[in-house]
């Protein structure tokens, strides 16, 4: 059942992004939508509204970019509780360090192996 819920929640998040791109003027680019999802995920997380979505949808809520915003916000909030206000600046990066490092490393490996055009 958790796979079905992950599919439904992740699909709903993707549908929202697709509708935003299809129903808004051409001045709204995919980059705008991506940044909006990260910021939206962080805001919903700070308000306590994103964690229930993660509890229901699991990976369907954590893998999209709104999940990255949630991760950054939770890292910053956790660091503020342990290290004070200065923790807000480093907490999000510490929480997302593994994922960011993996993305950079695998991107570099693929670029070396497959000779990208550009």
DSSP for 14-34 reads: HHHHHHHHHHS-TTS-HHHHH
Residues in the chain: 118
pLDDT, position 102:
92
Residue numbers of the chain with a pLDDT score lower than 70: 116, 118
- Residue showing tokens 């490996």: 109
Q: Which two tokens stand for residue 19?
A: 């509708």
Distance CA(6)–CA(61), nearest Å, equals: 7
Task: Tell me which residue of 37, 32, 31, 42 sits closest to 10, measured CA to CA.
Answer: 37
- DSSP string spanning 80-107? HHHH-TTHHHHHHHHHHHHHHHHHHHHH
Distance CA(46)–CA(29), nearest Å, equals: 26
Task: Tell me which residue of 51, 17, 23, 52 sits closest to 36, measured CA to CA.
Answer: 17
């Amino acid at each position: 059942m958790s796979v079905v819920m992950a599919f439904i929640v992740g699909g709903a998040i993707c549908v929202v992004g697709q509708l935003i791109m299809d129903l808004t003027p051409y001045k709204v680019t995919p980059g705008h939508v991506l940044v909006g999802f990260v910021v939206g995920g962080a805001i919903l997380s700070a308000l306590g509204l994103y964690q229930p979505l993660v509890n229901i949808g699991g990976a369907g809520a954590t893998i999209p970019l709104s999940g990255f915003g949630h991760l950054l916000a939770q890292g910053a909030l956790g660091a503020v509780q342990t290290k004070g206000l200065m923790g807000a600046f480093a907490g999000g990066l510490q929480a997302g360090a593994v994922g960011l490092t993996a993305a950079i490393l695998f991107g570099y490996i693929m670029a070396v192996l497959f000779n990208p055009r550009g």
